[in-house]
Each structure stands twice: as structure tokens, then as C-alpha cells.
Amino acid sequence: MKIFDGLKRAEEREKLLAALLVDLQLSKRLVVRAILFFEDAGSVLYTGLKREAADRLGMIYETREFSLNDATELVIAAIKKANNDEAVTGIIVQKPSRAVWQRVTGETSYEAYRNWWLALTTQIALNKDVDGLHPDQKVILPATCKAVLYILAEALGGTSDKIALENHKVLILGKSDLLGNPLYRELQKQGAQVELLGKKELAARMDSGEKLLDATVVVSATGERGLITGDMISDGVVLIDVGEPAGDVDRLTVGEKPSFITPVPGGVGPMTVVSLMENVVDMLQYPPSNNL
């Protein structure tokens, strides 16, 4: 079984990015402005890691902190201000987990959570949307999705733009805007045999006994600790664990069954951070023609 070393791979990619930045000879420093909701501990952690990476690359990573109880209009005003600030080259809204959002706001509806998120992300100027958050973004993939594509290319062969997907069945657990949905669309474009599973679809598979046994690749990003157990997977499966903070895979019961696995922490997380930094630079080279 190969255990993916995300820290090592991210360091390698960061060095390549640093060299590219030298070659570009930019006349001014790149500035990313992040909107952060301080109640979400995971967001605070990742923001710190992104700021450290930006510092190493000579970028500026600014934050504007809000409470999840703040008026949506107040947060939108901050996004619009960043849109109009010529010094800001990239904007990201750090998405809080649904559980934290519900606990802080008292709202229990998924639709309310989704509508709140869309109210924010649809305000990001497309030419500054470095995390691919706007629903109309066609140029930049969300950093987590990009990270998983890199890892799949290492596990299966090929490149992130053309992964060797022949003879593979991919199951994606979790229908998020940051990973599940864009990854599903991207793998479909590459000709993969792929299914996107939410809670209902996974429950149906468990009830039928099908579980995840037909998959040669499983990408899981549900945030449900220990969701994937050894009896659910086949020998030799590729397991990409995007759960946080503890991971979706029960490492004790899956044992040596996987041929390839990403650890939590130290797997997808570091690759997501460097992928975001790459997106900041990619946006300069391939800016969308339309804006908001």
C-alpha cells in the first residue's frame, strides 16, 4: 500500500511555482484577500496555512474576519470592496462547515445554508475568483478539486488534465461545491465511469449490500469521521480521503486493503494550499473575459 505524502508533493509544487514567479518578473506583489468566519476552527487553521504559503512565495494574504451572525450585506460589501480594489488580485471566501454554520446561526435548513453561500460567492468578480467559487466560473477549478486531480494522476498515471481512468470506476462521496460537484464534472469530461453519492445514495448502497465494492477509486469528503470501513471496499482500491479534521476513512479496519491512500492530516490538505497559490498565478495568465 502506498501512503501519499502530501507535504512532500506540495513542497515540490511550491518550488516550481516559486521559480515560475521569478520568471514572470511581476511588477507588483500578488495580493489575495480572504473573507473568514472566525467561529469555524477549520477555516482559521487553513487560513493560517495559506498565509504561510503566500509568505514563502512573496505574496500577500490578507484576511477580513466576520461572524456568521453578521448581516450578509456586510460581508457582500467587503467582497465588492475587494472587487474594486486594484491592488487585490485574488479573492477567496473561506467556507465554514454546515454544522458550524447551523450551530452559530440557529438555522437548520440546508437550503438556507446553500442560499447564504450563493449570496456571497455570486458577488466575487470572476477575474479575481481564485478558488473557483462563483457558479459561473469556467477557468479556475476549486483548489481542493485541483489537488485531488493531481493526486489521482499520481495514483493512476497520466496528468491532472488527462488521468489514466480506463478500467476504473470512481465513486465520489459528498456533493459539495468545493469538491464533489466540480470533481464529478471534470472526471466526466475526461471520460471516467464516475458516480456522485450523497447521503441517500450511499444509504441505498449500504442497504442493498453493494456498499462501495464496485469502485476501484473512492474519493470521500463528507466530514463524517470513520465513515468508510474495511467491509465497504474491495482489495486494491485507491482511497482519497478529503474528510477533516479527522478523516472519513477508518484506517484501523481498512488495514492494507487499499493500494493507495491519502492520510489525514498530511494528504489532500497541503496539496489544496499549494493549488490555491497556483490558481492565483494561473488567474493572471488566463483571466476570464467577463467580470461582475
Helix (H, G, I), strand (E, B) or coil at 4: coil
Q: What is the structure's pLDDT at 286?
A: 58
φ/ψ of residue 31, rounded to 5 = -125, 120
How many CB atoms sit inside 10 A of residue 176's CB?
19
In this prediction, residue 284 has a pLDDT band, given cuts at 50, 70 and 90, of confident
Q: What is the structure's pLDDT at 291?
A: 46
Residue 288 is placed in which grid cell?
476570464
Q: What is the structure's pLDDT at 285?
A: 72
Give residues with Cβ within 8 angstroms of 37, minimum separation 6. Answer: 43, 65, 66, 67, 68, 94, 96
Closest residue by Cα to residue 34 from 104, 116, 151, 129: 129
Rounded Cα distance, 66 and 38, in Å: 6
Residue 254 is placed in which grid cell?
481498512
Whether residue 173 is predicted with pLDDT greater than 70 in this model: the reply is yes
Rounded Cα distance, 222 and 135, in Å: 21
The model's pLDDT over 98-122, given as tens digits with 9 standing for 90+, comes to: 999 999 999 999 999 999 999 999 9
Structural domains of the chain, with CATH: 27-126 (3.40.50.10860), 143-269 (3.40.50.720)
The model's pLDDT over 33-42, given as tens digits with 9 standing for 90+, comes to: 999 999 999 9
Q: Per-residue pLDDT averaged across 255-265, rounded? A: 97
